[in-house]
Amino acid sequence: MEPIDYTFCELREREIINVTDGKRLGKLSDMAFHNGKIVGLIVPGEKKLLKNLSGGDNIYIPFGCVLKIGDDVILVDLHNERASEAIGTPRIGIGAP
């Protein structure tokens, strides 16, 4: 069995930063899986009073956009060719990629 590098509890404490513009996207709130593999990270969207009450929008970051998982931050590149579906809710369910 391979050693475990990180747990979800450790990852959710890290800030996610887009390296293209240096914008802080927030902290990890969830992960998307398909066939037992991580396919994306989910970060809460911008906090607006009315959206917060209704759940708001999430930012979906395809796992291919993750550049580096560091001790304090997770660096992502949302402006590369793998990020065409980076913003929005992931398609999870039957037939999802």
**Structural domain of residue 62, as residue ranges?**
8-82
The pTM assigned to this predicted structure is 0.70
- Whether residue 43 is predicted with pLDDT greater than 80 in this model: the reply is yes
Q: Is residue 95 assigned to a domain?
A: no
Q: Is residue 92 assigned to a domain?
A: no
Q: Is residue 3 assigned to a domain?
A: no
pLDDT tens column, 52-92 = 454 568 889 999 999 999 989 999 998 865 555 444 444 44
Cα(31)–Cα(78) distance, integer angstroms: 16
**Three-state SS for 20?**
coil
Q: Would you say the C-alpha torsion 92, 55, 77, 33 has a positive or negative sign?
A: negative
CATH of the domain at 69: 2.30.30.240
Cα(11)–Cα(48) distance, integer angstroms: 25
More confident of the two residues 29 and 49: 29
**Three-state SS for 9?**
helix
More confident of the two residues 49 and 12: 12
Q: What is the DSSP letter of 54?
A: H
For residues 30-34, average pLDDT? 91
Q: Is residue 78 assigned to a domain?
A: yes
pLDDT tens column, 44-57 = 876 655 544 545 68
Q: Is residue 97 assigned to a domain?
A: no
Nearest to 74 by CA among 20, 33, 14: 14
Q: Is residue 88 assigned to a domain?
A: no
